[in-house]
Structure 1
């Protein structure tokens, strides 16, 4: 049970976006820049849900806001506020759903909140009437889908018990990638009933089998740490962080109804979000690519950390996007958050939402 150590059926008329922000980076006509900056000044933008060619929702974990962004002008409006640690967001059935990250047993106390950690929230499509739909931490404590030992003899958790990282709405229910629980959970959007959809196997690379790689006694291999979920047709794709070990990240292609593994794409490092384009082209975010192993040295440039990866058959290419997490392919366009963990490097309000054209991948 590992935590990241460093770190749509709603009408667009419901989202009134009033603030303005720069729409382009790098100058020139929008069709000529490989990466277009849609908006800036975001705070820890982890989750992303593109509703239409006009509007996207962004989960800003540091400010505790769910923000609507106009994809053409960059204008934005906070729809939901005072939800610290919000990690994922999705719109479905006239409602907005958001998931909160879980407590880190080795980290500082979480900011005060009237909502429990590791819970799924639901609100009206205008962001009003926020309430708790499901408590994922309670489910993990009761069911423990990955089967790992949870507490030591003193009652202290060995590792994060539940730390949801992303959320997506599907015809089979809400799917939550719970990096702390090492599973993908399914939540009924109407009743809040929680069930287990998929438990990825523990990666057993050389590094994952080395002594000390396992946080929980008795575990063989390192934690899978699911971080991203995407839907394409009748299939669900899940990306895993692989406990940040080299080559331990995997993308699974699953049957959306049963959760059965149909295909596995392996050998990656620290994948976070996942998206699917036409003809099954895969896109994944690597938030920690190029990050220093220890504390950043003096003068370190955090804009050089992170990238997007495109997997087209046997061809793998990359685009330079700084610390991305949330990623989605919608309406023939690829969108991604950027600067998702800029705050860790001391950069305030460093988050962005960008559109990444295929010419950016090399």
Structure 2
């Protein structure tokens, strides 16, 4: 399969390809040059590579991939505290039944996999996390996408759990987007894993000529990343589509897992949210990244945007610095921002949760 088909998500791979990463972080572009657009309000700061967002009561829960932990952030005031530590490459987090469930993602491409990664963990706030479901083991046994399995010590093609949401299916508990396994998995209250839905390989655009290691022929892996429910109980799934330009997808499933709609034309989407009016929001963390080494005055906060797709199909765009996770809550859109700063600068604490004002979205 093509090298981009099983990324450990955009952080290291895409930034490296764009020339944004440096082996000497001190010589990289200074984060002091960064500014948050006026119509994008900072709700919380001092996060480290924040990824998926969720909510429970008066708090947000956010996976901090750069610190292998989950933080709780109050909606009013943005006060944060660490509630779960020790989740390697934390990518997604959700609170359910008084406990916190967090996905442990794959290591960056070329790096050894961390022991205990590629699992779903559970913990009460302040307690040590325990394995709730071994998603890598499920992939090794069942391989829902029917692709050749790679088993090298640095391999990320098997499983890379990303987003997790509470399921609205009958007798459902949690759903997980596994970007490495190319599937959506259901996890029961007892930790039993089953296959919920498997998107098909992408065969359009640049993907039409990409090498593949399955019987799909030349294609790109769908690489599901984000999960969100919208009006009518429809499930929305963002797909990275191997980072092929313009080939990103948002799949829309009904309660019976029937594919009812596919939105196309995105580039490397890592998150999705749905407004109460049915507008779909898609995060493109690397929009605007230079293809080669950046100029000395390059501002990394100029990289990234959120795409809004209105019910009539009209698209508008808001500039948000490296957004990954998205959440629609109480009539507002929230995003995890500066989600790749530790990978870029080698420093903790630059990440944010921001609210994106409707007036931020403009035509291009």
Q: Is the Cα contact below 8 Å between 1:321 and 1:338 reproduced in 2? A: yes
Partner Cα distance (2:186, 2:106) in 1: 17
Query: 2 CA distance for matches of 1:298 and 1:181?
Result: 39
Task: For 2:262 and 2:214, locate their aligned partners in 1 and report how far apart those are by CA, in whole Å.
Answer: 27
- Give the conservation status (yes or no) of the 8 Å contact 1:240–1:251: yes
Return the offset for 1:159: 5.2
- Bigger RCO of structures 1 and 2 (CA < 8 A, at least 6 apart): 2
Aligned length: 328
Which digits, 9 at most, give the CA deviation of each residue in 1:266-320, with x for residues without a partner? Answer: 1211111000111211111111111233554544321111111110022101111
What TM-score, normalized to structure 1?
0.85
- Given that residues 53 and 327 in structure 2 are in contact (C-alpha distance below 8 angstroms), is that contact kept between their aligned partners in structure 1? yes
- In the alignment, what sits opposite 1:271? 269
Return closer, same or farther for 1:347/1:322 CA change in 2, 3 Å cut-off.
farther
2:89 touches 2:107 (CA, 8 Å); kept in 1?
no
Aligned position for 2:352: 352
Residues in 1 aligned to 2:235 and 2:313: alpha-carbon distance in whole angstroms: 20
Listed one character per residue, the Cα deviations across residues 13-72 of structure 1 (whole Å, up to 9, x for unaligned) are xxxxxxxxxxxx979xxxxx52110111211101111223x3101100011111111122
Q: Relative to structure 1, is the Cα distance of residues 202 and 276 closer, same or farther in structure 2, using a 3 angstrom cutoff?
A: same
**Is the contact made by 1:158 and 1:216 (CA closer than 8 Å) also made in structure 2?**
no
Relative to its length, the structure with more helix (as a share) is: 2
Find the residue that maps to 1:148 and give its secondary structure.
coil
Q: Is the 8 A contact 2:86 2:129 kept in 1?
A: no
* Aligned-partner Cα distance in 2 for 1:202–1:360: 34
Q: How does 1:28-39 map to 2 (within 5 A)?
A: 34-39=39-44
Q: Secondary structure at the match of 1:207?
A: helix
The separation in 1 between residues aligned to 2:156 and 2:294, in whole angstroms, is 24
Q: CA RMSD in A?
A: 2.2
2:247 is aligned to: 248
Could you tell me how far apart the structure 2 residues matched to 1:206 and 1:69 are? 41
- Within a 5 Å distance, the mapping from 1:279-298 to structure 2 comes to 279-298=277-296
Contact 1:122/1:132 (<8 A) preserved: yes
Do the aligned partners of 1:149 and 1:218 also contact (CA within 8 Å) in 2? Answer: no
In the superposition, the TM-score normalised over structure 2's length comes to 0.84
Aligned-partner Cα distance in 2 for 1:56–1:159: 29
2:46 counterpart of 1:41: yes
Unmatched tracts of structure 1, length 5 or more? 8-24, 28-32
Q: Does 1:161 align with 2:164?
A: no
